[in-house]
Structure 1
Amino acid sequence: MKKKVIGVLMCALLAVGVLGFAGCAGGNGGSGSGTGAGSDASSGATSPSGQISVYSREDGSGTRGAFIELFGIEEKDASGEKVDMTTMSASITNSTSVMMTSVSGDENGIGYISLGSMNDTVKALKIDGAEATAENVKSGDYKIARPFNIATGDNVSEVTQDFIAYIMSADGQKVIEDNGYIAVDDAAAAYTASSKSGKIVIAGSSSISPVMEKLAEAYKGLNPEVTIEVQTSDSTTGMNMASEGTCDIGMASRELKDSETSGGLVPTVIAQDGIAVIVNKNASIDELSSEQVKAIYTGEAVTWEDALA
């Protein structure tokens, strides 16, 4: 108790500038945030420590489906059925934007999003030594990647067909690349405005909807008599709506399931996209291995000390 009192008195003396210092530190292991994260005063970075805050996406999310497959978090049980082994302690977010907001506000948080949706509110980690960039996805160096699919059912309208032709044209593929995604046809022909009219309803993945909004805006600039409505939900909802005919185009940020294609849906890959593993932008951690990510998401590693050991 006497040592604590002495420490407090010393801090008070230093705080008034007797020795010209700004303050008194409480030790090398102190945390200024109350979250269990240590601080690097020279850089402003914090070292995540203590229990990991795991953030995942909802069932039906194409990003979740691709993430658990690519990292081996989805495993087969004794009967051969695929089982999602994501830890039950994970906090579930229902969109890309909610995922980013959650991780940006949590110094011990980890999550995953579409690479094309990255901004400076969070930090993307290197995985197995490869930086999460469009260039590395295209070259194959960054392997955590998946297709962006659109799907149509029966009786596709002429205006819907024309919009899909625009997406797959040189003009549409440039919009995709300009927004941080990876084009799938570098040799596509230019698009010629068709003067079509009508309404197109597009529904599904929250990962695809931002670039789909950009594609719709560019297309309507060439064909002003067309109305395009983009409804954001998740990949499974998008596929169900396309199959039921309640939307013209469904969006899925994953491969289509056999049950979806056997039900009559016709997929078209419009882009490739990486999945970025994200942490708080002030976190000092820069890289994880695939094995470490799997351990975190299956609950094998509960603390950052466990994960980084």
Structure 2
Amino acid sequence: MLIASILTVLFTGCSGGANNDIAVVSREDGSGTRGAFIELFGVEGKDAEGNKVDNTTDEATIVNSTSVVITTVAGNKNCIGYISLGSLNDTVKALKIDDVEASVDNIKNNTYKAYRPFNIATKDNLSELAQDFIDYILSSDGQEVIEAVGYIAATEEGPYSGSKPSGKIVVGGSSSVTPVMEKLKEAYLKVNPNADIEIQISDSTTGMLGTIEGTLDIGMASRELKESELESLTATVIALDGLAVIVNKENPIDNITSEEVRRIFTGEIVSWDEISK
């Protein structure tokens, strides 16, 4: 894979070649967004032994956060990438998939199929503050925060009625979950100013490892937890989020099939001229 540092991407953008060559942007290994994307769009296959294989094209530019995917695609008219729907902004364009717009309403009515859970992960014997923060996230107050920033609520619990303990906790992991976690932290601190919450951004796999090792109190994952992670951790779904396939705003394509997405990201389709208008 072509590992691109943030600075390199910002100054050069993704490679696109001449004419209408498609420039593929993908997330790094360990990204929950990448894991969900390759599964949902069929980029993941199996080898002769039945092991899962990521068939993302070797020509893809690999970047290490949601924000860099957006910046990269916004800077090159031939780029295509994928991000959390909740992180979508007006610097790029989300494509319709199989004639269906990527939206919260279409996820709720099950016409837009590309969505995944946002999970938090914990070990046993949580601190009082960690448990109270989780109780807030899962309460109707926390779920209202989640919906207000463009995600889909995962629970129907009652209002928050916690004990507002003092202390410090560290939350870390997925760059896709981080924006909504920052909003949840902000809202929680208004009702519990005694708390100190540090949020560390990385990726889902790093978040799970940190929680297992005890450097994080709460891990964030934008995918389902792996069996090996569930041996040590308990997963809790806090929200649902769509995956948006994004292109540059100058790209004339507005709609694409899920099969075309698969073939682009596996390297079978290499030019925008091959995409049906």
Same fold (TM over 0.5): yes
| 8 A Cα contact 1:193 1:222, kept in partner | no
Q: Secondary structure of the residue that 2:275 maps to in structure 1? A: helix
Q: Measure the CA separation in 2 of the matches of 1:306 and 1:127.
A: 16
* Structure 2 residue 164 is the aligned partner of structure 1 residue 179: no
Q: Measure the CA separation in 1 of the matches of 2:217 and 2:238.
A: 16
Q: Is there any run of 5+ residues in structure 1 with no aligned partner, and where?
A: 1-34, 38-48
Q: Secondary structure of the residue that 1:308 maps to in structure 2? A: coil
- Aligned partner of 1:299 in structure 2 is 267
* Structure 2 residue 253 is the aligned partner of structure 1 residue 253: no
* Structure 2 residue 174 is the aligned partner of structure 1 residue 205: yes
Q: How does 1:1-309 map to 2 (within 5 A)?
A: 50-185=20-155, 187-262=156-231, 264-308=232-276
Residue 148 of structure 2 aligns with an amino acid whose one-letter code is: D
Residue 188 of structure 1 aligns with an amino acid whose one-letter code is: E
Q: Measure the CA separation in 2 of the matches of 1:200 and 1:130.
A: 40
Q: Is there any run of 5+ residues in structure 2 with no aligned partner, and where?
A: 1-15
Q: CA deviation at 1:302?
A: 0.9
* Structure 1 consecutive aligned stretches of length 4 or more whose deviation exceeds 4 Å: none
TM-score normalised per structure 1 = 0.83
Q: CA deviation at 1:36?
A: 8.4
TM-score normalised per structure 2 = 0.92
User: Cα RMSD between the aligned structures?
Assistant: 1.3
Q: CA deviation at 1:193?
A: 4.7
- The number of equivalent residue pairs is 262
| 8 A Cα contact 1:73 1:86, kept in partner | yes
Q: CA deviation at 1:288?
A: 0.4
Residue 263 of structure 2 aligns with an amino acid whose one-letter code is: A
Q: Measure the CA separation in 1 of the matches of 2:250 and 2:271.
A: 18
| 8 A Cα contact 1:56 1:90, kept in partner | yes
Q: Measure the CA separation in 2 of the matches of 1:244 and 1:50.
A: 47
Say if 1:165 and 1:252 are closer, same or farther in 2 by CA, change over 3 A. same
Q: Deviations over 1:208-255 (max 9, x none)?
A: 000000000110111101000000000000000011111000000000
| 8 A Cα contact 2:25 2:60, kept in partner | yes
| 8 A Cα contact 2:129 2:164, kept in partner | no
Q: Measure the CA separation in 2 of the matches of 1:305 and 1:36.
A: 14
